[in-house]
Amino acid sequence: MSVNDLTIRAAAVAGLAIVALLLTGWRKTARAIPRSARGGDGTPVARHHIVRQPTPEYHAPNLARRLVMLITGGGLTVVIGVVLATIVGFALAYTVVTLTDLLKN
């Protein structure tokens, strides 16, 4: 099997997948029948008593808390960056070693 045949087959599979997705979304989706707010289907509507209470005022965090959040956020960013860089580095090293070994064969 040549590279051209493989490319044509992959394109055909991708095209069929797109057609399948289009045909799947073609039909109108099923929707639930909305219930009437007035109990139009014969069932009684429960009445709820709403209690309105004032909400507490918003107070911005103080300077010490902002600094702690800034330091911990920066620390997490550095740790996540180090972990991702390590993973990507090992993956690239493995890929390079594998490909160079294949070239030797």
- 41, 35 in Cβ contact below 8 A? yes
The pLDDT of residue 33: 64
The pLDDT of residue 14: 93
The pLDDT of residue 103: 82
* Beta carbons within 8 Å of 22's beta carbon, 6+ residues apart: none
What is the mean pLDDT for each group of 10 consecutive residues in the chain (105 residues)?
86 92 73 59 67 89 94 95 96 93 81
DSSP state of 100: H
- 3, 11 in Cβ contact below 8 A? no
Digit-coded pLDDT (tens) for 8-31: 999 999 999 999 888 887 666 666
What span, in angstroms and rounded, lies between the C-alpha atoms of 26 and 20?
10
The pLDDT of residue 50: 82
